[in-house]
Amino acid sequence: MNIKLSEKNLKISPSVTLTIDAKSKQMRAEGIDVISFGVGEPDFQTPDNIKRAAIEVIENGPTGYTAAAGLPELKKAICEKLLRDNDLSYNPENIIVSNGGKHSLYNIFQAICNPGDEVIIPTPYWVTYPESVKMADATPVFIECTEENEFRLKKSDLLAAITPKTKAIVLNSPSNPTGSVYTREELEDIAEIAVKNNILVVSDEIYEKLVYDGEKHISIASLNEEIKERTIILNGMSKAYAMTGWRIGYTASALEIAKVMGNIQSHATSNPNTIAQYASIEGLRGDQSTIEEMKKAFDERRKYMIHRINQIKDLSCIAPKGAFYVMMNISKWIGKEIKGHKINNSIDFAEVLLENTKVAIVPGAAFGADNFMRLSYATSLENIKEGLNRIDDFLNK
């Protein structure tokens, strides 16, 4: 086809995490015994009370269109949640309900960015952050966050990265892919810098319910009114409520930003899935005990994975404090050969493991951290044990 396509969008990279997941699922469909540490999806069923709420709507309605930016009752439930969990007061008009967290992220950058704007993204980063920035004609600016600092942003590095073009900072706590959780002191430093330089903060808090070792999630917007005005909170139903396929995300922001996002969404997709919205109301207002049950299981797997990785020769990891990921350090394998395979980078490492052990892991290159691999412990403890045993056997026995 001799037609010139969009130059901007031809530069957008596909999601490596979803590519790895699709490949492992295809291998399983072919009868291959693959263990996947790839995609970030809870391996728990959506809670029964949420399912029943969806069934009730399917059988008795209403199932038609809702307001483009979300059901008013769901927006009220989100406001109640933000006040209850985060000590944040918003009105329903500050809330935009979208088709999942990625859609919310797309809306955010489309609403705030102009050509030439810069958005600061700490690395390792979730794969969709830089691509969403580029789709909005802005430029991602990366700041490397070291394992020694538990992959958290340093104040000095943030100050050094700010230019007159800086529009926003992306903050993800708890973090995908690192599991790092920012302290109150660190958040206060970031907030002070953002306010002083009139910079927006995009605060992705979708893993807020999954924190361990006595850590506490703090929303940067809750620190004071000045930073709240400049913060766009991104959250959703997928992780805490095991509702990944239901595709409900939401944002809370200043009214002028929310209006722009609502206008964009009204033309791009109109309302999110009506049935999933009603189910989400039950999720937010109903029994919350399943979150603690899921968190307990994740914590058990987390502890085992940390211990087992650090037993494997020339592999290591630090203890993540949130989410359900571990960043495994493979730097000692870079430049070496493994049974005839030269390992130049994390992609080589991932390919060798998948080919020889039938274990799927996402290469750190996808997150801007090529000396690492991301392992998700959102899979059974049995799979975690078997997968890490296969890796150990292949590398060292």
Distance CA 138, CA 115 (A): 5
Distance CA 270, CA 194 (A): 32
Least confident of 16-25, 217-226, 246-255, 349-358: 16-25
Q: What percent of the chain has pLDDT over 70?
A: 100
| Residue 26 pLDDT grade (very low, low, confident, very high; cuts 50, 70, 90) | confident
Mean pLDDT value across residues 106-110: 98
pLDDT at 356 over 90: yes
* pLDDT (tens digit per residue) in 229-280: 999 999 999 999 999 999 999 999 999 999 999 999 999 999 999 999 999 9
What is residue 296's predicted lDDT score, i.e. its pLDDT? 97
Mean pLDDT of the residues in the chain = 96
* pLDDT (tens digit per residue) in 110-163: 999 999 999 999 999 999 999 999 999 999 999 999 999 999 999 999 999 999
The single-letter code of the amino acid at 311 is Q
Domain 7-45+290-396 has CATH 3.90.1150.10: yes
- Contact, 388 vs 312, CB < 8 A? yes
Cα–Cα–Cα angle for 145, 377, 51, rounded to 5 degrees: 115
Where in the sequence of the chain do the CATH 3.90.1150.10 domains occur?
A: 7-45+290-396
What is residue 13's predicted lDDT score, i.e. its pLDDT? 83
pLDDT at 341 over 80: yes
Single pTM value for the model: 0.95
Q: Which CATH class is domain 62-285?
A: alpha beta
* pLDDT (tens digit per residue) in 88-105: 999 999 999 999 999 999
Cis, bond preceding 42 (omega within 30 deg of 0): no
* pLDDT (tens digit per residue) in 364-389: 999 999 999 999 999 999 999 999 99
| Residue 19 pLDDT grade (very low, low, confident, very high; cuts 50, 70, 90) | confident
Mean pLDDT value across residues 196-212: 98
Cα torsion 214, 215, 218, 224: sign? positive
pLDDT at 50 over 90: yes
Distance CA 105, CA 113 (A): 12
E strands present in 34-165? 35-36, 95-98, 118-123, 139-144
Q: What percent of the chain has pLDDT over 90?
A: 90
What is residue 251's predicted lDDT score, i.e. its pLDDT? 98
Distance CA 210, CA 378 (A): 12
Where in the sequence of the chain do the CATH 3.40.640.10 domains occur?
A: 62-285
